[in-house]
Amino acid sequence: MVVTATRVEEGAFDLPVAIDSVGATRIQQDQLQINLSESLSRVPGLVVQNRWNYAQDLQISSRGFGARAPFGARGIRLYQDDIPATMPDGQGQTGSFSLASAQRIEVLRGPFSTLYGNAAGGVVSIFTEDGPPIPFVQGQVIGGSFGTWNAIAKLGGQTQGLNYMMAANHFETDGYRDHSTASRDQFNAKLKFELDGDTRFTLIANTLYQPEALDPLGLTRAELQANPKQADPAATLFDTRKTVGQQQGGATIERSVGADTTLRVTGYTGHRTVRQYLALLGTADTSSGGVTDLDGNYGGVDARITTRLAVGGGPLTLTVGAQYDRQDQARKGFVNNNGALGDLRRDEEDTVRDQDVYAEAEWAPLPALSLLAGVRSSDVRFSSDDHYITATNPDDSGGVKYSHVSPVAGVVWHATKDANLYANWGNGFETPTFIELAYRNVGTGLNFGLQPAISRSIEIGAKAYVFETQRINLATFDTHTSNEIIIDASTGGRTTYKNAGKTRRHGVEAEWEGALGGGFTGYAAYTYLSATFAEATTTGIPPQLVPAGSHLPAVPANSAYAELAWTRADWAGFSTALEFQYADKLYVNERNTDSSAAYSVVNARAGIEQRTGVWTVREFVRVNNLFDRNYVGSVIVGDTNARYFEPAATRNFLLGVSVNAKF
């Protein structure tokens, strides 16, 4: 399993980090190909919760980092083809990821994620497929419960020095719950050129348009028990919804300088718009409104040089790089006149940029010993220019700067050719995002008093191959964080944040995968995670005590995934599998006053395939939540209206057919 987490291609087995790579078959075959939760729920340490709410995106956390996010992804870094899907402030979105053209998804957990910048918990990187040597065209149609369907078209190949892959899809759903319809149009393209024997050039372009995705909001416990499919009445009163548009492009040039040195430069630019109707009027002059309107440009460049040499009798790979990213965003707020756009209540120009330098070195002084170390110096700056100034709403312009130096180090002992033991240590930091700076409990303007969270982690693990067909990974970790960013108050879609004291996360991850004979294969992953407040703090208005030992919300203490698959190639390519997923209860706030129940669900899938000449046809059926369980898939942390619970769908199905032709 080859990964690029250290910015050079290496075998994951030989790295002193917890990393998984999920391939194209797992991502695309027998799946809807819309949500990361379809394929990443199998990764230990990672929690990907499908809200069944396309207005708020998925909720993703890695070892407990990012669980507080009421929408989008925070606390972890997201990349597509080395282009950040996380902005310089740490806010990311997964909706733009093209799963239909994904070759693999890498998931890095633990201290080494800090080498990617402003992130504490992990990195999720998606990579687009290369075109195959023989060109092809493919069409897929997938449909199922709740009026859900996805139509996909792909084209890829290689000709005269040009490698190309293009994918487009149109997705629609009526939604499992009331007031939750959504649609999405996506396009992704990758072009690769061999300019000469030493120079390679790659172009990436993608678009996303998601209009008027309805938001059913969370439910109170009483509403959940009465009817989990309903939307909260405020959702229809204020017609809560979100429209997102994004266009992005990037280019990478890689040049070999001699036999042992490579120079790589990646640049990107994009434009993103968001308009979201929240569950409040926002009529007060200092309220910022009940409609959020964002219009921004972003871009950046990453340049690095990698060289290989011999030091002390062992090979050394050294990478040195610099990165600059910037986002300029016009933020406006309007009154929400029960679903209609009202008067202006906020108008500002927000800018965030980072400029970082980093270095990584891997050295094998002995055949049985490898060392990996790195450091990143980060400088993140926020500024806001306020244009909405009235007699009761003063000029709130201002700015803040966060800087941090993050070292990491790891060691691998190659005990045998089939067994490695490793340890790593590092620290990292996580700045507040612009969304977390956006509001204060009292007064107007940005909450520049928020400080970055600083984490220190240690991890010990083992990786082994057993009986040639079995793979086992084990890891135990311990992370201490100061100035943890937590939710202070949340009302009607508007959330304020504060710094708590110290928190601690420690746990165990275990993973097994292997062939069982007779066409059977198996996979199992388990995570235990204790995420608690190491010091007492307060939250809410008025402030209420959060005792030391309280659990961080939205973090399951135990989670597991298992799969048993069977394939008979001689039966028209028949394959089938059972999937099992378990998640412990989720606390809904820092005070742990309520929680969603633990749940277990079973999914089943089966498919067949026919090949005739240049044609390949595949059909599949998938049944999710086979035993029709009622359960809560995710929670909205700290909602002051007690609308914590986001129900997951009961039994539902998908049917799909794909037609592939080579030419």
Output the pLDDT for position 543: 86
Q: What's the rounded mean pLDDT across residues 80-98?
A: 90
pLDDT at position 490 over 70: no
Give the pLDDT band of residue 494 (cuts 50, 70, 90). low
Q: Is the pTM of this model over 0.85?
A: yes
Q: Which of 84, 72, 89, 76 is nearest to 383 (CA)?
A: 89
3-state secondary structure labels for all residues of 342-368: EEEEEEEEEEEEEEEEEEEEEEEEECC
The answer to whether the CB of 347 falls within 8 A of the CB of 337 is no
Alpha carbons 456 and 577: distance in angstroms, whole number: 40
pLDDT of residue 231: 97
Name which of 357, 451, 448, 362 is nearest 405 in CA terms: 357
pLDDT at 5: 76
Burial (0-12, 13-18, 19+ Cβ within 10 Å), 542:
exposed
pLDDT, position 192: 96
Count the alpha carbons within 13 Å of 122 in the hemisphere toward its beta carbon. 26
| pLDDT number for residue 569 | 87
Q: What is the pLDDT of residues 374-432, one digit of tens each?
A: 999 999 999 999 999 998 888 889 899 999 999 999 999 999 999 999 999 999 889 99
Q: Which two tokens stand for residue 113?
A: 């994620």
User: What is the DSSP secondary-structure string of 629-658?
Assistant: ---EEEE-TTBTT---EEEPP-SEEEEEEE
CB 483 within 8 A of CB 500: yes
Tokens of 473: 């990974």
Residue 540's CB: how many other CB atoms inside 10 A?
A: 18
- Is residue 272 within 8 A of residue 244, CB to CB? The reply is yes
Chain centroid offset of residue 292 CA: 23
Q: What is the mean pLDDT of the chain?
A: 93
Helix H, strand E, coil C: the string for 363-429 is: EEEECCEEEEEEEEEEEEEEEEEECCCCCCCCCCCEEEEEEEEEEEEEEEEEEECCEEEEEEEEEEE
Burial profile 402-434: b = 16 or more Cβ within 10 angstroms, e = fewer: bebebbbbbebebeeeeebbbebbbbbbbbbbb
pLDDT in tens, 534-574: 999 998 878 889 999 999 999 999 999 999 999 998 888 89
